[in-house]
Amino acid sequence: NGNHWGEAVTLFETTAAGPYFFNFHQQDLGNFTVIGPSGSGKTVVLNFLLAQAQRFKPRTIFFDKDRGAELFIRAIGGRYDRLRPGSPSGLNPLQLPDSPQNQQFLLEWLTLLAGGASSEEADQVRDAIATNFLQPVERRRLRYLVDLFRGGARPKADDLYARLRAWWGDGEHAWLFDNERDLTDLGAQTVGFDMTTVLDHPAVRTPAMLYFFHQVEQRLDGSPAIIVIDEGWKALDDEVFVKRIKDWEKTIRKRNGVVGFATQSAQDALESQIASAIIEQAATQIFMINPKARAEDYINGFGLSRHEFDLVRTLPDTSRCFLIKHGRESVVARLDLSGEADILTVLSGRESTVRIFDELVEKTGPDPANWLHLLIEKAA
């Protein structure tokens, strides 16, 4: 008792057969990281912690990779969307409500899409944003907004209209933001987005994450919130986020939220531009077993002691153990769900299980009451 959100998030067994009461928070700081290679159990542990945290009724927003959290999110009644190039995303920031905060965001967002803007062009963008908010909602789309950048001066090959060409109509990236309706629903209690196909494409990844985080900030109201970013070091590895990640983390902390970052590669994470900001603001770090762990990553980068590092490297894969570092203390905990096949089916997010889900949901619809029991039967 007495933790920032009340009781412990969950209870783990330690290797000494004692109890370990797990919490994200150290005082009011609750950000966490989960690090482990493919097959280490990272997805199971991460989804298990989120499942246990539902006792606090948190708003949960998960930026996912490889659909690892989809079954869990859908099983608890959450909404899950996939960003797929060429398929309309349902995102349209131009349909945000008119407010000073949204006007400023749209200026930053449009400037990013255009690859920058001179002071004169920034004035053009501001005027276009003001005009946008005067239009009926169905006219608030990029394909209509760009017309405001034509005329006046003689068209140039590198003017705003030309630089935004990829983002509307039949442009290469039009699927992302040039949508008839903004279907972004971060107001739901639990939401997931599969970011797999955009993670390696900063041209679309960065403006998408910028919009998502703007929406997240607007919806944090002081009630518990958990924002998880799988491969977050890659998702936010951009100058745009380097400048604001610390401020975002502070804002989310003040509004009773926690941010969780997960990755398969400690080395890749440490090479990210935002690595130091994430590590400094992590109250809890979870390290899955990794026989190939490198001292320069785990000791020099993440600050493990030699003993802690040796545990991560040498614990047997079959032990279902992992190292938890919480503040200055560390403990090896165990999560053994081998006798809980039904739970594992949902939490593990295996590709084969997700394929079964895809087949079922086409017939049953998205309500978990209609597909969950069938999924468990077929995956057994």
Q: What is the pLDDT of residues 76-86, one digit of tens each?
A: 999 999 999 99
The CATH code of the domain that includes 236 is 3.40.50.300
Domain boundary among 151, 177, 203: 177
Please give the helix or strand (H or E) that residue 227 lies within, else none: strand 225-230
Residue with tokens 């789309």: 141
Asked if the structure places residue 64 within a domain, the reply is yes
pLDDT at 153: 59
Same domain flag for 251 and 204: yes
State residue 134 phi and psi, 5-degree precision.
-90, -10
What's the pTM?
Answer: 0.94
Question: What are 321's two structure tokens?
Answer: 């153990």
Residue segments in the chain with a per-residue pLDDT below the cut of 70: 2, 151-155, 157
State residue 304 phi and psi, 5-degree precision.
-70, 150
Same domain flag for 65 and 202: yes
Asked if the structure places residue 368 within a domain, the reply is yes
By C-alpha distance, which of 261, 284, 302 is closest to 3? 284
Same domain flag for 251 and 129: no
Residue with tokens 């999924």: 375
Cα separation, 362 vs 365, in Å, equals 6
Domain region containing 238? 10-76+188-339
Asked if the structure places residue 318 within a domain, the reply is yes
Same domain flag for 304 and 367: no
Asked if the structure places residue 4 within a domain, the reply is no
Question: What are 201's two structure tokens?
Answer: 């494409």
pLDDT digits over 101-148, tens only? Answer: 999 999 999 999 999 999 999 999 999 999 999 999 999 999 999 999
Same domain flag for 48 and 111: no
For 273, residues 6+ apart whose C-beta sits below 8 A from its C-beta are 237, 238, 239, 241, 242
* C-alpha pair distances (Å), 20 with each of 50, 87, 178: 17, 45, 49
Domains of the chain: total: 3
By C-alpha distance, which of 252, 208, 201, 245 is closest to 226? 252
